Amino acid sequence: MNRGGDFYFAHIGMLFFWMGVIGVVLGFGAFVFYSQEIDVRAVEAEIMRDKLVDAFVDGDKLKAGIVCEEQYCEDFSLYEAAGINAGVIEQGNFYFEVRLFHNDKLIGSPLLGGDSAYAVECSLSGKNFPVCVSQTRVVSNYRLEVLAGSNQRGASI
């Protein structure tokens, strides 16, 4: 091939090369933009935390029917009191931990729900770890500590 032919074929080759580069970059950009996730885990965790707190606290006092002789009353159900569905919580995308103290003494055992692995993962930061929020409320001689977490991302069908 003479020098004119070299130039001719190199020119065509570079054309297709740059078309390929532009195509890949545009395709990757479109993929990244339109596959982004809307993260509402923090909002979910906050709603759950507030519902758990409201299950115990009424204004500036502890609700009746929760504590019976320094233990949780027999017919007290946190899921019912908070209005939270146990089936959805136990699916594995949520977690909560509630501790109630009376004069700094823990009442009963911590009330837990959801994926227990989140108890550790709540303190870790990263895209794949749950988003957790907590609140401590003091009413009368009781101290309520609530931790709620969500890692629900939803799913395309």
Partner 1 sequence: MDKKGAELLTVHIVFVVIVLVFIAAMFLFISRAGSQATLYEQAYAKKIALLIDGAKPGTTIELALFDAYQLAEKNNFEGTIVQIANDARKVTVRLYDGGGYDFYYFNDVSVVWNIDAASRLLTLEIGEVVKEVN
CB of residue 88 vs partner 1: minimum separation in angstroms?
4
Q: Does 79 bind partner 1 (CB under 8 A)?
A: yes
Applying CB under 8 A, among 67, 93, 97, 149 the residue interacting with partner 1 is 93
**What is the x/- site pattern for partner 1, positions 19-38, by CB under 8 A?**
x--xx--xx--xx-xxxxxx
In the 8-state DSSP scheme, what is residue 90?
T
Q: Which residues contact 81 (CB under 8 A, 6 or more apart)?
A: 55, 56, 63, 66
Contact between 34 and 71 under an 8 Å Cβ cutoff? The reply is no
Contact range with partner 1 by CB under 8 A, out of 61-69, 80-88, 100-108, 116-124: 80-88
Separation CA 86–CA 92 (nearest Å): 11
CB atoms within 10 A of CB 154: 8
Give SS3 for 150.
strand
Instruction: Name which of 81, 56, 66 is nearest 136 in CA terms.
Output: 56
Judged by beta carbon, residue 24 or residue 138, the one nearer partner 1 is: 24
Q: Residues in the site for partner 1, rule: CB under 8 A?
A: 8, 15, 19, 22-23, 26-27, 30-31, 33-38, 40, 43-44, 47-48, 51, 79-80, 83-85, 87-89, 91, 93-94, 152, 154-157
